[in-house]
Amino acid sequence: MKRIFSGVQPTGNLHLGNYLGAIRNWVRLQDDFDDCLFCVVDMHAITVWQDPDHLRANTLETASAMMAAGVDASRNVIFNQSQVAGHAELAWIFNCVARLGWLERMTQFKEKAGKDKERASVGLYAYPNLMAADILLYKGTHVPVGEDQKQHLELARDIAAKFNHDYGQETFPIVEPMILGTGTRIMSLKNGASKMSKSDPSDLSRINMTDDAGSIIRKIRKAVTDPDGLPSEEVGLEGRPEAANLVGIFAALAGRDIADVLSQFGGQGFGTFKQVLGELAVDKLSPIQDEMRRLMADQTYVGQVLTDGAVQAGAIAGPVIEEVKDRVGFFRS
């Protein structure tokens, strides 16, 4: 059986990378897979400090963004993680399955914890175990994400394999990462060496899903580029991460491949290209933003979608968590 699971953190500043790398693919995949769960992972969010009121608001905003982008709440399960207790229960069991050495290798922990890792939360360290629990609580088989989640999904595969090995049964499937399309690694507009991120202190580094048309155009105009113009062929983008990023964004938004974009703009300067790219971004994002605003004005509806989704998710998770407890040997009368 095939089942999609994916998630996004409600940490504010949902951006173009989240849309192109993940959410847009969910919209496409919902037609091919009958069974999809899309989760606002609020328990992951608190691995770094979140203001409680902001967390609640961002949870509704993130769910609104998913639906505004086209994820259909009537065909898929949309919910927030903390409303289904099984995530925490299975994560604890996985804390006891995963090895310290496996977590030590996680590059995202190193990036997020920074220099002073003694001060990072234990939750931030164990984060990938919770992520494995998210997927495997539903025996999810396919996980559409951006490139940055690849290592975490490899860990989820290792955890599933070790659990199956240790408890002697094929309890969990080995998940398939789905890293699809040209937008799987959108970089910062200010530095082609770091990815576009919600936590970058510079707002100019990213296009937020809530940015108005003027800001989108201005941010793209101010995006860092090098002094050369656009090359006519893809090899000409090698060693030019900022140029490659803008061309990649164009291709992803327009649904064209990179070679095709370069055949149109090769030989031109960045001035015109940025202008056309800015207009394209506004064109593609503004209908989503209008719908997001409409949904955010109806918080009761969005809240109800999450709560109904949690009931549906809980119904799938219940038998799985029972099966796992049984395999582990937890007594229940």
134 is a site residue for ligand TYM (CB under 6 A): yes
- With CB atoms as reference, the residue minimizing the distance to ligand TYM is 21
Instruction: Tell me which of 195, 219, 274, 284 is the catalytic residue.
Output: 195
21 is a site residue for ligand TYM (CB under 6 A): yes
Binds ligand TYM (CB under 6 A): choice among 12, 86, 146, 248:
146
Supply φ then ψ for residue 174, to 5 degrees: -95, 115
Element (H, E) at 7: strand 4-8
- The owner of tokens 């979140």 is 50
Residue 89's closest CA among 322, 250, 273? Answer: 322
Residue 178's closest CA among 144, 136, 140, 131? Answer: 144
Nearest-approach distance from CB 308 to ligand TYM, in angstroms = 20
What CA–CA distance (Å, rounded) separates 59 from 218?
28
Binds ligand TYM (CB under 6 A): choice among 54, 56, 112, 185:
185
Instruction: Tell me which of 150, 162, 198, 325 is the catalytic residue.
Output: 198
112 is catalytic: yes
245 is a site residue for ligand TYM (CB under 6 A): no
150 is catalytic: no
Question: In the structure encoding, which two tokens stand for residue 104, read together?
Answer: 């030590």
DSSP characters over 100-130: HHHHHT-HHHHHHH-S-GGGS-HHHHHHHHH
Farthest CA pair distance, the chain: 74
Binds ligand TYM (CB under 6 A): choice among 3, 13, 18, 242:
18
| Cβ atoms of 278 and 220 closer than 8 Å | yes
Q: In sequence order, which ranges of 24-106 are alpha helices (DSSP H)?
A: 24-29, 42-45, 52-69, 86-95, 100-104
222 is catalytic: no
Supply φ then ψ for residue 228, to 5 degrees: -75, 160
Nearest-approach distance from CB 230 to ligand TYM, in angstroms = 21
284 is a site residue for ligand TYM (CB under 6 A): no
Element (H, E) at 263: helix 258-265
9 is a site residue for ligand TYM (CB under 6 A): yes
What CA–CA distance (Å, rounded) separates 17 from 23?
9
Nearer to ligand TYM, 66 or 262 (CB): 66
* Cβ count within 10 A of residue 139: 19
Nearer to ligand TYM, 18 or 80 (CB): 18
Interface stretch with ligand TYM, choices 64-72, 127-135, 275-283, 291-299 (CB under 6 A): 127-135
What CA–CA distance (Å, rounded) separates 205 from 224?
9
Nearest-approach distance from CB 329 to ligand TYM, in angstroms = 27
65 is a site residue for ligand TYM (CB under 6 A): no
Of 93-112, binders to ligand TYM (CB under 6 A) are none
Binds ligand TYM (CB under 6 A): choice among 190, 195, 274, 284:
195
| Cβ atoms of 140 and 37 closer than 8 Å | yes
241 is a site residue for ligand TYM (CB under 6 A): no
Binds ligand TYM (CB under 6 A): choice among 36, 60, 97, 131:
131
Residues annotated as catalytic (active site), given as ranges: 112, 195, 198
Residues that bind ligand TYM (CB under 6 A): 5-9, 17-18, 21-22, 41, 44, 131, 134-135, 143, 145-146, 148-149, 183-186, 195-196
